[in-house]
Amino acid sequence: MTTRDPRAARLARFAGLVADETRAACLLALLDGRAWTAGELARHAGVAPSTLSGHLDRLVTGGLLAEERQGRHRYVRLADARAAQLVEELAAGTGGSDLPARAGLRAATADSAMARARTCYDHLAGRLGVAVTDALAERGLLLRETGFALTDAGLRWFAATGIPLDRAGRRPLARACLDWTERRPHLAGAAGAALCRHALETGWCARIGSERAVRVTPTGEAALRELLGVTAEALR
């Protein structure tokens, strides 16, 4: 008699959480790292709020989303960085067009901005994220032969640049996250989050509208060129 692996049933149930276009749309939207109301997600996914409620219940119960209520509003967000990593890497493995097909010049411009530079949960992605990751590795600040790890020189670089690292939590200091447009890994983990936060707080990058896209400012171009040798051409 064949003994079934109990993990198989758990894996099948977990895979079922994302095996629905409405739930997948919600998970992708929440990669911006914000908490969304159920109503906002319903409009984004193009379904009725009553329909979305059941989908959100499944994602919360399955551990991919966390929720909180404020008054009559229900807010949801990705449960943690691990959930964000899973969504990003699943998106990277889908193949086909790198960005959704959307008609019109305005939509094409938005898609181009997303591919150029964006946030992935709480770290930098797109050509910007990959270019910064490459620069860190080329300067011996980041090892990536057998998984990502900051070198001693990398730790000193973060300290000298004024980017504090949270080394007390359970989150990995450095982790590879497969970029869904570049199809190459960019830096995630506590170091990736700290770098992204610093870039936004110091004005190296600025958010574009309500999407995840960001733009590198002239201040950011100068800083990235001076600190890491990243040219403006590499980000276009």
| Domains observed in the chain | 6-79 (1.10.10.10), 99-235 (no CATH)
Query: Residue 202: which of 185, 219, 178 has the closest Cα?
Result: 219
For 60-119, what is each residue's pLDDT tens digit? 999 999 998 888 888 898 988 888 888 888 887 765 444 554 544 454 456 688 889 999
Of residues 40 and 108, which shows the higher confidence score? 40
What pLDDT score does 105 carry?
A: 40
What pLDDT score does 107 carry?
A: 47
CB 235 within 8 A of CB 117: yes
What pLDDT score does 12 carry?
A: 87
Q: Is the pLDDT of residue 1 over 60?
A: no
pTM above 0.75, yes or no: no
CB 165 within 8 A of CB 191: yes
